[in-house]
């Protein structure tokens, strides 16, 4: 996801989860710059959001972001995907 020139805003929930899961701001930035969008949530409110998947070293990370009306990237939550809920490549939910 291209974030050049965009403000990056972290929701309190995201910061709490990052702290609990030992995920740094740099990890999130790496996922946003090198990761891929694996799900879109156009009906989310107050802004449409998307799920981005990327790797930090050997650790898989999912980042949910929304883009507000002025183009800022809002980090909603951050987590390491549960391998029981995601396919082997961690980019598709299990049925």
In a domain, 47, yes or no: yes
In a domain, 35, yes or no: yes
3-class secondary-structure state, position 92: coil
In a domain, 84, yes or no: no
Q: What percent of the chain has pLDDT over 70?
A: 95
Mean pLDDT, to the nearest integer, of 56-72? Answer: 93
Full residue range of the structural domain in which residue 29 is found: 8-79
Q: Count of residues for the chain? A: 95
pLDDT at residue 88 is higher than 90 = no
Mean pLDDT, to the nearest integer, of 60-79? Answer: 95
Residues 33-61: tens digit of each pLDDT: 999 999 999 999 999 999 999 999 899 99
Lowest mean pLDDT among 3-12, 50-59, 60-69: 3-12
In a domain, 95, yes or no: no
4 contacts: CB under 8 Å, gap ≥ 6: none
Strand runs labelled E in 1-95: 8-10, 36-41, 49-56, 59-67, 73-79
Residues 15-28: tens digit of each pLDDT: 999 999 999 999 99
Question: Tell me, what's the pLDDT at 62?
Answer: 96
In a domain, 26, yes or no: yes
The phi-psi region of residue 32 (left if phi > 0; otherwise alpha if psi is between -120 and 50; otherwise beta) is: alpha
Split into its structural domains, the chain has a count of: 1
In a domain, 88, yes or no: no
């Amino acid at each position: 996801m291209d974030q050049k020139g965009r403000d990056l805003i972290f929701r309190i929930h995201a910061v709490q989860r990052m702290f609990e899961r030992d995920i740094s701001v740099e990890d999130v930035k790496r996922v946003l710059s090198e990761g891929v969008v694996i799900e879109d949530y156009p009906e989310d409110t107050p802004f449409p959001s998307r799920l981005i998947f990327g790797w930090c070293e050997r650790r898989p990370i999912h980042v949910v972001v929304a883009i507000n009306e002025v183009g800022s990237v809002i980090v909603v939550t951050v987590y390491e995907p549960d391998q029981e809920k995601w396919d082997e490549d961690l980019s598709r939910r299990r049925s």
